[in-house]
């Protein structure tokens, strides 16, 4: 594992209790930093923070609710003193059905978490980053946001929106010390697969030229670098993590 330098920095990771969020937290702690895990599952977040050691702190947060996010920002700052990086990893897939059969409530829930959550977390954290004159924001999008997966219209649309908000916010903050980027993984085998049908999983694998799923460690390596000072001249950018499926 290459050594990244996150020494003395503090990151907030949404959806940090499991999956990509937890893997990213592990990489940042291993790189000398500390983390606050934001997750709606309080028990899982506490367990994850305990596993990471004394460099980790956990908070119960509903990223789709502005008061919850604002409260979490205040609690994080009270505990850590600063937020140097924000990784928006919280997300859900929604059901795998045709658009015309898509339950309206499920559509709204996907949008609330996957894109409204990113908006709210960025909105509440950017003020602190602007005050300190430094920050790194990394949004977890998806190759589905570039190409649109069939039977996943809400997920695809929400991740396309994550790409759009990344580009917009990156340009708004380009004249500051804050960098905003996103990554677009193809399928990475985590607990999120439990929300998908076997047919949809097989479809995603069939589209990857490397013939395998990505790993949590591979995503964490790229996200970890995007959280460091070394990521200084990239902003509003989209970094591919698709095993060759998407090359733009």
Give me the active site residues, please: 155
Q: Cα dihedral sign for 206, 17, 7, 227? A: positive
Question: Is residue 238 a contact partner of residue 161, using CB atoms and an 8 Å limit?
Answer: no
In the DSSP assignment, the letter for residue 174 is T
Going by C-alpha positions, the residue among 57, 98, 92, 52 that lies closest to residue 78 is: 57
Going by C-alpha positions, the residue among 229, 219, 213 that lies closest to residue 8 is: 229
Phi and psi at residue 188, to the nearest 5°: -125, 125
Count other Cβ atoms within 10 Å, centred on residue 83: 24
Cα–Cα distance, 244 to 210 (Å, whole number):
7
Cα–Cα distance, 19 to 16 (Å, whole number):
8
Cα–Cα distance, 8 to 150 (Å, whole number):
43
């Amino acid at each position: 594992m290459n050594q990244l330098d996150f020494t003395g920095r503090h990151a907030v990771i949404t959806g940090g209790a499991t999956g990509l969020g937890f893997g990213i937290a592990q990489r940042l702690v291993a790189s000398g930093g500390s983390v606050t895990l934001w997750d709606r599952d309080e028990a899982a977040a506490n367990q994850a923070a305990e596993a990471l050691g004394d460099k980790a702190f956990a908070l119960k947060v509903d990223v789709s609710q502005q008061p919850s996010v604002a409260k979490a920002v205040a609690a994080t700052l009270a505990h850590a003193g600063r937020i140097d990086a924000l990784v928006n990893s919280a997300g859900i897939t929604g059901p795998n059905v045709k658009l015309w059969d898509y339950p309206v409530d499920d559509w709204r829930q996907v949008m609330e978490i996957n894109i409204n959550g990113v908006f709210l977390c960025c909105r509440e954290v950017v003020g602190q980053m602007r005050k300190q004159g430094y920050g790194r924001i990394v949004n977890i999008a998806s190759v589905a946001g570039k190409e649109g997966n069939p039977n996943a219209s809400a997920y695809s649309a929400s991740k396309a929106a994550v790409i759009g908000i990344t580009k917009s916010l990156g340009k708004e903050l380009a004249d500051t010390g804050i960098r905003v980027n996103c990554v677009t993984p193809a399928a990475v085998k985590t607990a999120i697969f439990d929300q998908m049908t076997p047919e949809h999983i097989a479809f995603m694998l069939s589209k990857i030229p490397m013939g395998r799923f990505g790993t949590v460690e591979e995503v964490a390596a790229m996200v970890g670098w995007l959280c460091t000072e070394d990521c200084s001249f990239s902003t509003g950018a989209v970094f591919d993590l698709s095993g060759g499926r998407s090359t733009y």
